[in-house]
Structure 1
Amino acid sequence: MEEVYTVRVATGTSEYSGTNNYIYVTLVGEKGESERTMLDNPGLDFCRGAVDEYKVSSPFPLGRLLLVRLEKQKYWVEDNWFCRYVTVEPPGGEPAMTFPCYRWLIGDIKVEIREGTARKLVDDNSSSQLLAHRKTELQTRKETYRWTTWAPGIPRCIDAKSEADLPQDVRFDNEKRSDFEHSLKYALLELSLKKLTIRFGKSWNDLDDFKRIFWKLRSPIAEYCMDHWKEDWFFGYQCMNGSNPRMIKRCHKLPENFPVKADMVQSSMAPRTNLDKELKAGNIYLLDYAITDKIPTNTIRGKPQYIAAPLCLLYLHPDQGLIPIAIQLEQTPSLDAPIFLPRDPPLAWLLAKIWVRHSEFQVFQVLSHLLRTHLVVEVFCVATLRQLPAVHPIYKLLDPHLRYTLEINCRGRTQLISADGIFKRVVSTGGEGLLVLAQREYKVLTYRSLQPHKDFADRGVNQLPKYFYREHSLMQWEAIHSYVSGIVNLYYESDHDIQQDRELQAWIRDVTQEGFTELPKFGLSSELDNREELTTLLSVVIFISSTQHAATNNGQFDWCAWVPNTPCTMRQPPPTDKDAVTMETIMAALPDVSQSCVQMAITWHLGRAQPDAIPLGQYTEEHFTEGRAQELIDSFRTELKEIEDHIVKQNEGLELQYLFLLPSRVENSITI
């Protein structure tokens, strides 16, 4: 007796997802296969966003459905197709089964997709067919996604010379690509017009001259920054809540190479206290940019650029908040590296702070942003694609948090940090410097420092008030950790299950031995022994992909658009004589008109909200089909909504609001 199955096929919603090619389906069950059935009238079905319904027959009962085989064949012209999912309703009123796909079918191709219930390798032991399917899928993926070394001494990456070499499944959607390229052209065009109306390649005359590039590209925080950037409390605020909020540490003892005496800073202290008392009380903090010491510097249009390696002491004043109280611009104290103080001539103190902020630009862009989010996450992205089949619960968990990361990183390597990229054109560490800087940080990179709760404790900043980045990060870390813990415990009943999952163990070996090579002190084992280890690691990946990236990326235009606040380069060496600093000295050192325009354009392009952003916890592709997993996702969303409400309420009435980590503004993945 003929069995008739109802099959529904969902086409992607982005531009060019539909196809006019022939599409065939075959249902594969434990007891055999259905008839190979052509599903559509070419050119009429499989339109963008459509869900088309068909009847598929089998001359006998197929038993438990194992796979859906999709085939695409050319009709007139080649036409790619994006399939979201297939649902199959068996005869006899049984509940429909969902087969997630979420991939491109390109050329004459045949793919087989699994039903959506997440299954580990051991769960498929009873079916040689499903085991063979897993093996074939991973063999194909390993051939498609290969490791390579872009440069020695940094994390390894995807083997692709440019984004054009990437498989379509990890490329930007067409709308994203168009928007990305249009945005960059728009920003550069607007600033080119500004350069024509000012004076290309010349220095500014006065700090107010920077206002001449504040046209359409502006933001409330950038304008606030323009008005308050000289103020000491604002400098301290940015150490906690600016684009690089991970540098500040509590200082219990002054570094030997930073000989600040108590009488130097007494005038900055509150009444009836002194430096020793405040050190003991835990109210003294330090910024140390030793990592930038003697970094090779860029040459731009034949002119050398300069870098310092500052030490900056900050004091938590009971009335003024966190304020800088001493700055030394080199790591070795000398007559040519004096300690700058707030009581010094105002322009000398201002220039010292500018130099610290210049080091901040290098560290936040190359280390906090590029290395510690983009490149770290790429390792997990490549390992996941190579070692975990689409039906694996950890693949389903991670996939939404790896969206677009490979393409944006490829674009970064070809357009931003390449030998002729934008950094080379305008940034003091452009060229060799940024690579040396990244290599230095990579050598000392630890897994522990990527875990926010441990990082804050290690830096001694858990009690630092108005450190909104810390507070909001930890709230999101707890929400992410709780969600991940629920998923891990749902699919792994014991630690033994973790140890016996060969695919998962291959994944962690790929991460540690192929991705993070040359890192003996990284602190991440090549084996996963228990559920807590796995939960923490997956939480770190998701946290970095979302919250940590948002903290360093989303505010870069706000903090860098007013160029004197965070200059991308310095055109004169650090000052050696406090009394010799004039406004002419400052203007000669700050970026020129051309460099300022490019800094503003690029930070706007990279820091703006993405039009196709998917916020943290919103999963437009439903990889998990089980009710319990969906309940965990719903709980995660509820927790994020509570965090959102708390942050909104906390910021009510604040003149300077910290909204970068609103969950609705945090993307699931690194897409920019």
Structure 2
Amino acid sequence: MTTYEIKIKTGDRLGSGTNANIEIVLFDGSGKHTKPAKLDNLFRDDFERGHLDVFTIKDETDIPEVTEIKLRRDTAGRFSDWFVDQIEVLNKNTKITSIFPVLRWIRPKVDLFIGRHDTFLPQFDPRLQQRNAELQEKRTLYEYEERIPGLPVQIKNVPEDEEYSISRKWDIATKILRLRVEKGLDRIFGCGRWETFDDLTSVYTSYFERPKAVDDWKRDESFGWQRLNSVNPNLIYLCTEIPTKFGVTEDDIASFLEGLTISEAISEKRLFLIDLEILDGVTCFKEYVCPAPIALFFVNDKGQLMPVAIQLFQQKGPDNPVFLPSDPPYTWLFAKMWYNVADTSYHQSISHLGCTHLLMEGICIASNRCLSPSHPMFKLLAPHFLYHIAVNDHSLSSLIDAGGIFDTTMAIGHAGALELIIKGVRKWRMNVDGIYPELLKSKGVYCKDGSILPTFYQRDDMLTLYEAIHGYVTKYVNFYYDTSDKIIGDNEIQTFGQELTKSKSDGGCGILGVPFKNGRFTSAEQLTIVFTSIIFTSTVGHSAVNTAQYDTYGFPPNYPTRLDGAPPKNKSPLTEEDIVKCVVDRETTIEVMSLAVILSEKIKNALGDFEVNYTYDPAAVKIVEEFRKELKDIGQNINQRNEKLERKFEYLHPEEIPNSVSL
């Protein structure tokens, strides 16, 4: 008789544990197998949620190295559903252990065969019939729905597999309410308007951590730094000429260009623009106003990006002046604050919700519909989609539904946010916006030696991380697709490409710019572009627009989501009192601060430290380990750089980047 030790890890999902009867059969590669063995430890409740159970079985068939297992359960007991993470089988005679990543719900009275490492391209899967049946079932669970015309597709009904466990299940509105009640914020803050900026900053002594922006938010250096290293960094582009609609003149800004003319500053690549034309005519909530500004910036001799001109609306005219740093101090400050009303509207609608949360949800659905859990590319993507659908389902309605947080805090309200999301995602192209170096090149700010925008630390870190992810994906793709024939013959990866690119009206995701030529993937390079883009956007891209939210939004005057009254139409001197009375009231301040606290929370493991391990193939495991080592080196380099900086940039340290889209 041969003795086998079997370790079974039951999943930690809601309802994972089972009281059913479980049988297992062990196979070798030649068809030899053991008899069905019932797994049951006497006087113990086996297969509880999140538990590891160990069983010993004996069989007259000696299988030195187990290459496949067969699982079967019945419907006995009150709770018979069962989700298995992984199974290890040890032949105690040969001391050889085989690992079987199951990562599935075990269906009742159906034989489930799992191969060692469970990683096969479909054309090489020995259990193709089982694989196809499993995929067919997943296609019924993961269905697209265009809930709002113009928005990316979302899940029609959230599958049980995507739901949070009890400890993770919450929505933004509920959490804000809990935060307010637990801290007694409504009683402490009171109601009505703030009297002074000092009055507002007093709340940070006991009730909120002090955001980094509080101390220097009025300074032009801080405003310029915010354009590069805060939550909305990738709008800036190299100025090659002054737009005709922009009323700035040579005389206006001569004193801010350190002796250069506009032409000379352009030639030296020291002038930059941001044009938020996309906001022109956007719907606003009630009487609130959202500008559509154009701003000009200059890199001074210290390498700092400085604002030199702001026009709050698109068309120049006598009631739409160009505001300058030489204007009365509070008038200039007020112009910067109104600019940021526009920036916050773009950030939350397009940069955050539209181009990370919503766009990636459709791709997540496609991966589940088209790629078997045994497919190596599914295993590559799966850690980066963990809880994504659940996050969107539980939280987006709190933000963009009528009467939600956008209506209570943002100038544009939910209606304007939806308009902007639709405009933003319509312009998104995977081959530009999803490939970070190409995005930088399209804006004229691609640079690896610091000669252009030397204090653009977010660009530098994002570029380094993109290259690391690209290298990781390249190795992984090339390992499984060492010939183009394997790509061409992979029907699942071809179906995945079809669903990504097919229009929403035809039942696809409608993603533009996917390198899917003539209805097929034909090269490893094409796959590398797609999977790098997806992973980068779901991790680094989302962190770039999310992690710094409390430091940015946590002091509302620094990055106001809306202001009362109207933007200035002239350069008349203003006072602090004039501005403070336009800042959101105490009630809305609580809402904005609480939202910023919640959205900045890190609720997942760091990039590369996957919450669920999908990769067991030894060669692929080595690739993952190399990726982790590179991320560690990147983190050390960031630490060394930050030691030399007066104002550190830490938001994209690999240890701060979650594996998937979090709030």
TM-score, scaled relative to structure 2: 0.91
1:20 Cα deviation after fit: 4.3
- Out of 530, 540, 543, the residue aligned to residue 547 of structure 1 is 540
Q: Distance in 2 between matches of 1:288 and 1:368?
A: 15
Amino acid at match of 1:229: W
1:319 aligns with 2:302: yes
Say if 2:98 and 2:116, in contact at 8 Å, map to a contact too: yes
Q: Distance in 1 between matches of 2:273 and 2:356?
A: 24
Say if 2:172 and 2:398, in contact at 8 Å, map to a contact too: no
Are residues 367 and 133 of structure 1, via their aligned partners in 2, closer, same or farther at CA, if it must alter by over 3 Å?
same
Equivalent residue number for residue 231 of structure 2: 243
Q: Distance in 2 between matches of 1:106 and 1:571?
A: 58
Amino acid at match of 1:281: E
Are residues 352 and 180 of structure 1, via their aligned partners in 2, closer, same or farther at CA, if it must alter by over 3 Å?
closer
Q: Distance in 1 between matches of 2:407 and 2:111?
A: 45
Aligned residues: 650
Q: Distance in 2 between matches of 1:78 and 1:209?
A: 57
1:568 Cα deviation after fit: 1.3
Following superposition of structure 1 onto structure 2, how do residues 116-131 of structure 1 map, counting pairs within 5 Å?
116-124=117-125, 127=126, 130-131=127-128
Say if 1:31 and 1:63, in contact at 8 Å, map to a contact too: no
SS of residue paired to 1:424? helix
Say if 1:114 and 1:391, in contact at 8 Å, map to a contact too: no
1:84 Cα deviation after fit: 1.4
Q: Distance in 2 between matches of 1:204 and 1:108?
A: 66
Quick check: 88-97 or 347-356, which moved more? 88-97
Equivalent residue number for residue 281 of structure 1: 268
> Which string of whole-angstrom CA distances, capped at 9 and with x for unpartnered residues, describes residues 64-110 of structure 1?
754432425342x3265442101234586373322112245588887
Following superposition of structure 1 onto structure 2, how do residues 397-546 of structure 1 map, counting pairs within 5 Å?
397-447=380-430, 448-461=432-445, 462=447, 463-513=452-502, 522=513, 524-525=515-516, 526-546=519-539
1:63 Cα deviation after fit: 10
> Which string of whole-angstrom CA distances, capped at 9 and with x for unpartnered residues, describes residues 206-258 of structure 1?
222322442555445x1x31110000011000100001111111111011110
1:268 aligns with 2:261: no
- Out of 49, 52, 58, the residue aligned to residue 51 of structure 2 is 49
SS of residue paired to 2:213? helix
Following superposition of structure 1 onto structure 2, how do residues 523-602 of structure 1 map, counting pairs within 5 Å?
524-525=515-516, 526-579=519-572, 581-602=574-595
- Out of 58, 68, 71, the residue aligned to residue 73 of structure 2 is 71
> Which string of whole-angstrom CA distances, capped at 9 and with x for unpartnered residues, describes residues 565-595 of structure 1?
1111222221112206443442343222211
The CA RMSD measured in Å over matched residues stands at: 2.8
Q: Distance in 1 between matches of 2:582 and 2:19?
A: 60
Equivalent residue number for residue 616 of structure 1: 607
Quick check: 229-238 or 106-115, which moved more? 106-115
Say if 1:23 and 1:73, in contact at 8 Å, map to a contact too: no
Are residues 181 and 588 of structure 1, via their aligned partners in 2, closer, same or farther at CA, if it must alter by over 3 Å?
closer
Equivalent residue number for residue 38 of structure 1: 38
1:4 Cα deviation after fit: 6.0
Quick check: 534-543 or 210-219, which moved more? 210-219
Are residues 107 and 497 of structure 1, via their aligned partners in 2, closer, same or farther at CA, if it must alter by over 3 Å?
closer
Q: Distance in 2 between matches of 1:169 and 1:122?
A: 27
Quick check: 577-586 or 242-251, which moved more? 577-586
Q: Distance in 1 between matches of 2:64 and 2:456?
A: 60
Say if 1:575 and 1:581, in contact at 8 Å, map to a contact too: no
Q: Distance in 1 between matches of 2:65 and 2:98?
A: 13
Say if 1:203 and 1:592, in contact at 8 Å, map to a contact too: yes
Equivalent residue number for residue 663 of structure 1: 654
1:616 Cα deviation after fit: 0.8
Q: Distance in 2 between matches of 1:333 and 1:417?
A: 33
Are residues 587 and 373 of structure 1, via their aligned partners in 2, closer, same or farther at CA, if it must alter by over 3 Å?
same
What stretches of structure 2 of length at least 5 have no aligned partner?
none
Are residues 645 and 335 of structure 1, via their aligned partners in 2, closer, same or farther at CA, if it must alter by over 3 Å?
same
SS of residue paired to 1:308? coil
Q: Distance in 2 between matches of 1:535 and 1:665?
A: 25
SS of residue paired to 1:96? strand
Q: Distance in 2 between matches of 1:243 and 1:587?
A: 24
> Which string of whole-angstrom CA distances, capped at 9 and with x for unpartnered residues, describes residues 110-154 of structure 1?
755443142101212xx4xx1101110100100111111121112
> Which string of whole-angstrom CA distances, capped at 9 and with x for unpartnered residues, describes residues 315-352 of structure 1?
00113711100000001111111110111111110011
Amino acid at match of 1:482: G
Say if 1:292 and 1:309, in contact at 8 Å, map to a contact too: yes
Say if 2:293 and 2:339, in contact at 8 Å, map to a contact too: yes
> Which string of whole-angstrom CA distances, capped at 9 and with x for unpartnered residues, describes residues 352-402 of structure 1?
100111111111111111111111211221111111111111011111111
Q: Distance in 2 between matches of 1:345 and 1:468?
A: 31
- Out of 596, 614, 617, the residue aligned to residue 626 of structure 1 is 617
Say if 1:338 and 1:577, in contact at 8 Å, map to a contact too: yes
Say if 1:238 and 1:245, in contact at 8 Å, map to a contact too: yes
Are residues 88 and 338 of structure 1, via their aligned partners in 2, closer, same or farther at CA, if it must alter by over 3 Å?
same
Are residues 343 and 365 of structure 1, via their aligned partners in 2, closer, same or farther at CA, if it must alter by over 3 Å?
same
Amino acid at match of 1:659: E
Q: Distance in 1 between matches of 2:530 and 2:313?
A: 37
> Which string of whole-angstrom CA distances, capped at 9 and with x for unpartnered residues, describes residues 22-58 of structure 1?
3333446764765443312475223433242231647
TM-score, scaled relative to structure 1: 0.90
1:552 Cα deviation after fit: 0.9
1:147 aligns with 2:144: yes
Are residues 432 and 179 of structure 1, via their aligned partners in 2, closer, same or farther at CA, if it must alter by over 3 Å?
closer
Q: Distance in 1 between matches of 2:152 and 2:248?
A: 38
Are residues 209 and 428 of structure 1, via their aligned partners in 2, closer, same or farther at CA, if it must alter by over 3 Å?
same
Amino acid at match of 1:214: Y
Equivalent residue number for residue 163 of structure 1: none
Q: Distance in 2 between matches of 1:383 and 1:20?
A: 33
Following superposition of structure 1 onto structure 2, how do residues 205-220 of structure 1 map, counting pairs within 5 Å?
205-214=195-204, 216=206, 218-219=208-209
Say if 1:72 and 1:110, in contact at 8 Å, map to a contact too: no
Q: Distance in 2 between matches of 1:364 and 1:51?
A: 48
1:99 aligns with 2:86: no
Q: Distance in 1 between matches of 2:24 and 2:436?
A: 47
1:195 aligns with 2:186: yes
1:13 Cα deviation after fit: 5.5
Quick check: 39-48 or 345-354, which moved more? 39-48
Q: Distance in 1 between matches of 2:536 and 2:33?
A: 43
Are residues 364 and 428 of structure 1, via their aligned partners in 2, closer, same or farther at CA, if it must alter by over 3 Å?
same
- Out of 197, 221, 230, the residue aligned to residue 218 of structure 2 is 230
Q: Distance in 2 between matches of 1:411 and 1:175?
A: 14
> Which string of whole-angstrom CA distances, capped at 9 and with x for unpartnered residues, describes residues 438-468 of structure 1?
1111221111112111111111122210111
